[in-house]
Amino acid sequence: MQTSPQQDWIQDLVVYQIYPRSFQDSNGDGIGDLPGVLQHMDYLEQLGINAIWLSPVYRSPNDDNGYDISGYQEIMEEFGTMADWEAFRDQCKARGIRILMDLVVNHSSDEHPWFEESRSSRDNPKSDYYIWHDPAPAGGPPNNWASVFGGSAWEFEPRRGQYYLHIFSKKQPDLNWDCPALREEIFSMMDWWAEKGVDGFRVDAISYLEKPQGFPDSPLPPQPDGYSLFNNWVAGSEGTHRYIRMMHDRVFGPRGLVTVGEVSLNRPEEVVDYVDPDRREFTMAIPFVPPVVEIATWSPEKLVADAARDWALLGERGWWARFLSNHDKPRQVSLYGSDKAFWEPSAKLLGLLIHTLPGTPFLYQGEELGMTNLAFSSIDQYNDPEAKNRYRQLLLEGTDPAEALRTIQLESRDNARTPMQWDDSPNAGFTTGTPWLQVNPNYTRINAAAQERDPASILHFYRALIALRKEHPALSRGDFAQVATGSPTLLAYRRTHARETLLTVLNFSSQPAELPQGLVPQDAQALLSSYNREGGWQGTSTLRPYEATLFLLPAAQA
């Protein structure tokens, strides 16, 4: 059996990503946990989502907030117990919510027992579970490779007289996928979770599994600290695809799991190599083409053009993840919309966009409330290792510290990691203790309880969107066709399925826009809009800033 969208339920998914550390603290230690997630199951069910991607909850020393796993079949103490996870699973099952676990298998923690054994000598049974290399002939690391989080990607282990490789922090040693015994450990771990009832996996940083033979220097220009990034350069090799196919054929396929590969691409078209059903790899992908944070490179036109390109590449044969946010990106309303004057309509416009383009919408916690970036006033307040490294590199480059801080404020992953804003009580109702990361002070204005009371809120808008996906199969299964508008910030596209056609029109701009004649047919019916047009739609010739509307077209127009 293939993990292809032919499985009907996959086309109906609406996924909600939970970053547990920041979702809800239940015991006052300032850290979100699994019992905290359980407190909000009604909220999630009412939102209408039918799948949860749970960021890592495994045993971990938290060098990278759980993306450094020291026990794959255990739960992180701070998050609770396996019994708490089982209670979460049972609650999900009872509500028809599928569970996608985050699978981090490019690397483990250096505190994983496998690594503790592997580093102890050159001839222990787990000696080749990780990637070890002798020093360069003149001493020092074997080559020029840089870690994503700064410095050399190699760390010396005196007991072996060798270096180990880490694409991410030195507490995240890369697993050696070339070792059959290691692969078998990983496959049986996946089996174990599948037996426990998970419906699929979001597979972390999966493009880098195979490292090039002979470990040549990276040809990329050195960073300010002297080392050269190599991860994107090695991404997507044939060997890496072979390992993914092994996972598919051994675990994903036979068990009918839904899988979402987090893939790094050098060219956008490479995504097809991961999601073409004939290749037996992933159901869909969360792709990124550097730079991940597209502050300088994105445009409204590009967001829709990317979807059009995807459609042209695979159309109905493949399947896509649609997202603007996750725990690695700034808040979408701050990055792509307006978190000031047009906060509410722009947050709604972005929601409309991901729910009406082809593929599965992925929501990141707090997006449904329009949560915004939070600029910390000092680098010490940041937790994210990536931000800290970026700051160091900027200073080495000679950037002025105030300017470097401004860059971090815009780019940092911590923007997405500030605690959920549940209500206007202290710490937004996230914790009764001291939160591990500062709560955004705008919680008194932006919070779930307030939006629950306001039928025109972003939260209600998201609920309506998700409900519309259920009523109109054109949104989940329809063909996609872009409609020309003559303006790079006025975007329109149609989705058609059977006899139904829906039209999305987005004024992706803080300026009003003229509505071209005929773009919206006479008797089109507005299903949902980022503004409330009391007097109806007829006769409208000007769109307001960030006005976005989903229309149902009369049958004759289809």
Binding site for Ca ion (CB under 5 A): 25, 27, 29, 31, 33
CA-based nearest residue to 366, from 383, 384, 347:
347
**At its nearest, how many Å lie between ligand TEU and the CB of residue 362?**
13
Cα–Cα distances in angstroms (integers) from residue 44 to residues 48, 213, 258, 318, 350, in the given order: 7, 47, 20, 28, 20
Question: How far is Cα 52 from Cα 199, in angstroms, rounded to an integer?
Answer: 10
**At its nearest, how many Å lie between ligand TEU and the CB of residue 118?**
19
- Within 3-32, the residues that bind ligand TEU by CB under 6 A are none
Question: How far is Cα 432 from Cα 427, in angstroms, rounded to an integer?
Answer: 7
Cα R_g (the chain), whole angstroms: 24
CA 309 to chain centre: 20
Task: CB nearer to ligand TEU: give 169 or 509.
Answer: 169
Is beta strand 360-364 parallel, antiparallel or unpaired with respect to 479-483? unpaired
Shortest Cβ contact with ligand TEU: which residue? 67
204 part of the interface to ligand TEU, by CB under 6 A: yes
Asked whether the beta carbons of 436 and 20 are under 8 A apart, the reply is no
Phi-psi region of 326 (alpha: psi -120 to 50; beta: other; left: phi over 0): beta
CA-based nearest residue to 350, from 516, 362, 527, 416:
362
Task: Name which of ligand TEU, Ca ion, none residue 33 binds, using a CB cut-off of 5 to 8 Å depending on partner kind.
Answer: Ca ion
Question: How far is Cα 106 from Cα 288, in angstroms, rounded to an integer?
Answer: 17
324 part of the interface to ligand TEU, by CB under 6 A: no
Task: Name which of ligand TEU, Ca ion, none residue 199 binds, using a CB cut-off of 5 to 8 Å depending on partner kind.
Answer: none
**At its nearest, how many Å lie between ligand TEU and the CB of residue 290?**
7
Task: CB nearer to ligand TEU: give 248 or 413.
Answer: 413
Q: How far apart are the first and last CA of the chain?
A: 35
Cα–Cα distances in angstroms (integers) from residue 516 to residues 264, 356, 395, 491, 535, in the given order: 38, 21, 49, 11, 20
63 part of the interface to ligand TEU, by CB under 6 A: no
Asked whether the beta carbons of 252 and 3 are under 8 A apart, the reply is yes
Task: CB nearer to Ca ion: give 25 or 411.
Answer: 25
Task: Name which of ligand TEU, Ca ion, none residue 67 binds, using a CB cut-off of 5 to 8 Å depending on partner kind.
Answer: ligand TEU
Number of residues that bind ligand TEU (CB under 6 A): 14
205 part of the interface to ligand TEU, by CB under 6 A: yes
Q: Is 310 helix (H, G, I), strand (E, B) or coil?
A: helix
Task: Name which of Ca ion, ligand TEU, none residue 27 binds, using a CB cut-off of 5 to 8 Å depending on partner kind.
Answer: Ca ion
**At its nearest, how many Å lie between ligand TEU and the CB of residue 110?**
13
CA-based nearest residue to 62, from 437, 441, 440:
437
**At its nearest, how many Å lie between Ca ion and the CB of residue 33?**
4
Q: At what angle do helices 180-195 and 238-247 cross, to 10 degrees?
A: 40
Question: How far is Cα 141 from Cα 76, in angstroms, rounded to an integer?
Answer: 33
Task: Name which of Ca ion, ligand TEU, none residue 177 binds, using a CB cut-off of 5 to 8 Å depending on partner kind.
Answer: none
Task: CB nearer to ligand TEU: give 348 or 413.
Answer: 413
413 part of the interface to ligand TEU, by CB under 6 A: yes
292 part of the interface to ligand TEU, by CB under 6 A: yes
Task: CB nearer to ligand TEU: give 57 or 468.
Answer: 57
Which of 78, 102, 199, 262 is an active site residue? 262
**At its nearest, how many Å lie between ligand TEU and the CB of residue 147?**
10
Sign of CA dihedral 108, 110, 115, 116: negative
Q: Is 204 a catalytic residue?
A: yes
Q: What pairs with residue 491 in β-bridges? A: 506
**At its nearest, how many Å lie between Ca ion and the CB of residue 26?**
6
Binding mask 67-86 for ligand TEU (x = CB under 6 A): x-------------------
**At its nearest, how many Å lie between ligand TEU and the CB of residue 412?**
9
Which of 155, 204, 310, 411 is an active site residue? 204
Task: CB nearer to ligand TEU: give 206 or 528.
Answer: 206
Task: Name which of ligand TEU, Ca ion, none residue 270 binds, using a CB cut-off of 5 to 8 Å depending on partner kind.
Answer: none
Asked whether the beta carbons of 368 and 329 are under 8 A apart, the reply is no
Task: Name which of ligand TEU, Ca ion, none residue 29 binds, using a CB cut-off of 5 to 8 Å depending on partner kind.
Answer: Ca ion
In 198-317 the beta strands, taken as DSSP E runs, fall at: 200-203, 228-229, 258-264, 284-288
104 part of the interface to ligand TEU, by CB under 6 A: yes
Task: CB nearer to Ca ion: give 33 or 210.
Answer: 33
- Within 464-503, the residues that bind ligand TEU by CB under 6 A are none
Task: CB nearer to ligand TEU: give 26 or 152.
Answer: 152
Residues whose CB falls within 8 Å of the CB of residue 351, separated by 6 or more in sequence, listed in order: 367, 368, 458, 461, 462, 465
Residues acting as catalytic residues: 204, 262
Residues that bind ligand TEU (CB under 6 A): 64, 67, 104, 148, 168, 204-205, 262, 264, 292, 327-328, 386, 413
